[in-house]
Amino acid sequence: QVQLVESGGGLVQAGGSLRLSCAASGSIFSINAMGWYRQAPGKQRELVATITSGGRTNYADSVKGRFTISRDNAKNTLYLQMNSLKPEDTAVYYCTAGAFLMVAGGRGSWGQGTQVTVSS
């Protein structure tokens, strides 16, 4: 079992930046990929970005060039640097971890989520 705890959400004006963190604990050995998803009100949860243990990254088209996913394997921590934020980025952001196909398919372990609100 993997436990994930997100932090770093908040309220920011359009054009601003936030950095989300996700601390992992528990069965760390089972993790070979981590990622971020988000869910806006009335919408389905969607993939934002993923990163493998080898550092390979993948981004949703809507965040490419603005968001950067990274991980510190020594600290078992995942990050999401979000720049040039837009009101449409407003959502609850969830951290996920597990085997790569589980993470990519939205079937990994989940954190509790952190709210990101971007005002116009």
pLDDT for 76-106, tens place per residue? Answer: 999 999 999 999 999 999 999 999 999 999 9
pLDDT at 29 exceeding the cut of 90 = no
Q: What token pair was written down for 10?
A: 């908040």
pLDDT band at 28 (very low <50, low <70, confident <90, very high): confident
Provide the percentage of residues in the chain whose pLDDT is more than 90: 90
Q: Tell me the pairing of strands 91-98 and 67-72.
A: unpaired
